Amino acid sequence: MKKFSLGRVAVYVVLGLAAIPVLFPIYYGFVGAVMGPGDLATYPPALVPHELYWQNISDVFRSVPLGRFYVNSAVQAGVITLAQIVTSILAAYAFAFLRLPAKAVTFGLFLATLMVPWEAIIIPNYLAVSGWGLARGGLTYLGLVLPFLASAFGTFLLRQAFLQFPTELRDAAVIDGCGHWRLLWRVIVPLSKPSIAAVGVYVFLSAWNQYFWPLILIRDSEYQTLQIGISQLNDAEVAQPGLVLAGVALSLLPTLAVVLFGQRYIVRGLTAGALR
C-alpha cells in the first residue's frame, strides 16, 4: 500500500510548513523561558538559545508570588471541578432515572443556561458577589467559585451516559432493596467513570483558565489566580521577556499534563459536545 511518491513528499512538506506557525509559539514559550537577556533583549532576537539561562525560573518567583498564585488557582479550579462533578451527577441521576413532574421543562431550563453568555450577566453577578463581601480576604475564594458550582454541560453529558444503562438495572436494584442512593453511588457512578472523567477534564481546564471573573473580582493581590498573575507579570516585566516566558512555562505545566494524559477524555467530551 505504502509507496514512495512525489505526492507523499509534498504532503510532508506542506504539513511541515503548516506546523511551523502552530508549533513556534509553543517552542518559544518554553525555550524563551531559559533564554538570557543576551538572546532575548537584542535585535534581532535569537531563535535558539546560546546558553541555557535557568536564572529566569528563580527570578520569576522573586518578581511575583507565583507559588501563591498556583495555590489560589488550584483551590479555585479544584473546588469548581469537584462541585460541578457532584452537582452534575446528582442532577443527571434525577433527569435520567426519576419520574418527576415538569421534568422536561426543568431540563429545558438547564439547557437554556448554556445559551446565556457569562459576559452578558457578569455585571449583576459582580454587583451581587462583591456586595456580599466576597471580593476581599479569604472570602475571595468563595466569590471565585460560587457562581460556578453547577454545570448544565456536565449534567447533560452525564445524563446521556446514565441513559445508556438499561432501565431493568434500575428496576432490579430497586426491587432488590437497593435504594436510589446506593444504586447511584455503588453502580451508576463506578460504571460511568470515563464520562465523569471527561466532565472533570473539561471543567478543570475551563476553571483553571478563567480570566474575566477573577480579573474584576479579586482585589487583594494575595488571592490572585495564576492567569491574572501571568498577565500582570507581562505588564510589569516588558523589558525581561525571559522572565515573563518562564512564568508562562511554569503556569502551563498543569494544563499540559491534563491535555496530554487526558486526551482520550477530551475527545470523548468533544464528541458529546458535537452531538449537543
Partner 1 sequence: MTSTPPTVRRGTPARFTESGLGWLLLLPSVVVFALFVFWPLGRTLYLSVHGNDLFGAPSVFVGAEHYREMLSAGFGKVLATTGLFTLFSVVPAVLGALFVVLLLEARIRGVRVLRTAFALPFAFSVATASVVFAVIYNPAIGVANGVLGSLGIDRVNWLTDPSIALPAVCAATVWMNFGYNVLVLSAGVAAISPEVVEAARLDGASGWRLASRITVPLLSPQLFFLVVVSTIHALQSFGQIHILTKGGPDQATTTLVYSIYEKAFAFGSSDFGSASAQAVVLLVVMLGCTAVQFGVLERRVHYR
- Does position 60 interact with partner 1 (CB under 8 A)? The reply is no
- Residue 139 CB, nearest approach to partner 1 (Å): 16
- In angstroms, the CA 225 to CA 213 distance is 10
- Does position 2 interact with partner 1 (CB under 8 A)? The reply is yes
Crossing angle of the two packed helices 193-208 and 241-261, in degrees rounded to 10: 170
- Residue 247 CB, nearest approach to partner 1 (Å): 8
Of 19, 105, 163, 172, the residue at the interface with partner 1 (CB under 8 A) is 19
Other beta carbons within 10 angstroms of residue 36's beta carbon come to 17
Quick check: helix, strand or coil at residue 180?
helix
Scanning residues 172 to 201, which ones bind partner 1 (CB under 8 A)?
174, 177-182
Nearest residue to 224 via CA among 122, 73, 58: 73
- Does position 245 interact with partner 1 (CB under 8 A)? The reply is yes
- In angstroms, the CA 139 to CA 146 distance is 11
Of 28, 70, 141, 165, the residue at the interface with partner 1 (CB under 8 A) is 28
- Does position 236 interact with partner 1 (CB under 8 A)? The reply is no
Of 75, 106, 142, 219, the residue at the interface with partner 1 (CB under 8 A) is 106
- Does position 105 interact with partner 1 (CB under 8 A)? The reply is no
Scanning residues 66 to 85, which ones bind partner 1 (CB under 8 A)?
none
Q: How many residues bind partner 1 (CB under 8 A)?
A: 103
Of 7, 48, 104, 168, the residue at the interface with partner 1 (CB under 8 A) is 7
Rg (C-alpha) for the chain, rounded Å, is 24
- Does position 4 interact with partner 1 (CB under 8 A)? The reply is no
- Residue 196 CB, nearest approach to partner 1 (Å): 16
Interface region with partner 1, contact rule CB under 8 A, candidates 1-9, 59-67, 135-143, 160-168 = 1-9
- Does position 116 interact with partner 1 (CB under 8 A)? The reply is yes
Scanning residues 117 to 176, which ones bind partner 1 (CB under 8 A)?
117-128, 146-152, 155, 174
Return the exposure string of 187-219: e unless at least 16 CB atoms fall within 10 Å of the residue's CB, then b: bbbeebeebbbbbbbbbbbbbbebeebbebbbe
DSSP string, 61-99: HHHS-HHHHHHHHHHHHHHHHHHHHHHHHHHHHHHHH--
DSSP string, 228-255: HHHHHHHHHTTT-HHHHHHHHHHHHHHH
- In angstroms, the CA 40 to CA 240 distance is 8
Residue that is written with C-alpha cell 487583594 in the block: 220
Of 65, 197, 216, 219, the residue at the interface with partner 1 (CB under 8 A) is 216
- Residue 191 CB, nearest approach to partner 1 (Å): 18
